[in-house]
Amino acid sequence: MLRKISTWFNQNHNQHYTHKADRTQYKYCDYQGCNKEGIHKAPRAAQQIANHHDSSQWYWFCLDHVREYNASWRFYNGMTEEQAQQSVYDDQHWNKETWAIGSDASAAAYMTQPYMYQDPFQMFAHNQNGHHIQLTQEQLESLNILKLSYPYTSDQLQSAYRTFVKRNHPDLKKTKDSEENIRAINNACQVLKNLLERERTC
């Protein structure tokens, strides 16, 4: 494998330098009266900087003349005050469209939906009194079994318990797992009841 990569690298590396070495076209410096080779690119106008692939929009200078040209370069030359300010603003935002915060009501409504935020490690979990609660693994699994999120009320717990017992009752759902599911649901309900009781005493 390494031999293949090495061979590929050497072939491409040699092609690259052969291509440069075989370059016969000599481009003169665009500065009037200069006979040196023009290998340094400089834009003809500020608006042409983005169009760097079109060689007709660029000057080609020797090193001395590109330095001279750059020293006298004025990007905002010929622009009005408003155009110059707009150019600065566009550069600050990478020339992307911007809008005021809160102007897109549909995006704001979407982001406030409860399913947009999950707290699997209960880092932001608080009980009704506002005290931070660190839930155990068993409590987290119990919440997951009954599809509840913390904090929850006693009514929510009872409602979830009834729903899952009806769905998984061995008399209605005659599968091998139904009895084990009921056991897990009963255990989850008991764990979450104990958590509610503990909160009431705090």
Give 59-116 pLDDT, tens digit per residue.
Answer: 999 999 999 999 988 888 888 999 889 888 888 887 787 777 767 766 666 666 655 6
pLDDT at 64 (0 to 100) = 95
Claim: this prediction has a pTM higher than 0.85: no
The structural domain count of the chain equals 2
Domain assignment present for 117: no
Residue 5 main-chain phi, psi, to 5 deg: -65, -45
End-of-domain residue from the set 58, 79, 100:
79
- Whose tokens are 């809160």? That residue is 102
**Do 42 and 70 form a contact (C-beta atoms < 8 A)?**
yes
Q: What is the pLDDT of residues 131-170, one digit of tens each?
A: 556 788 898 899 889 998 888 889 999 999 999 888 888 7
Domain assignment present for 110: no
Domain assignment present for 132: no
Domain that holds residue 42: 25-79
CATH of the domain at 170: 1.10.287.110
Percent of the chain with pLDDT over 70: 67
Residue 43's DSSP bridge partners are: 58
Domain assignment present for 87: no
Domain assignment present for 17: no
Domain assignment present for 42: yes
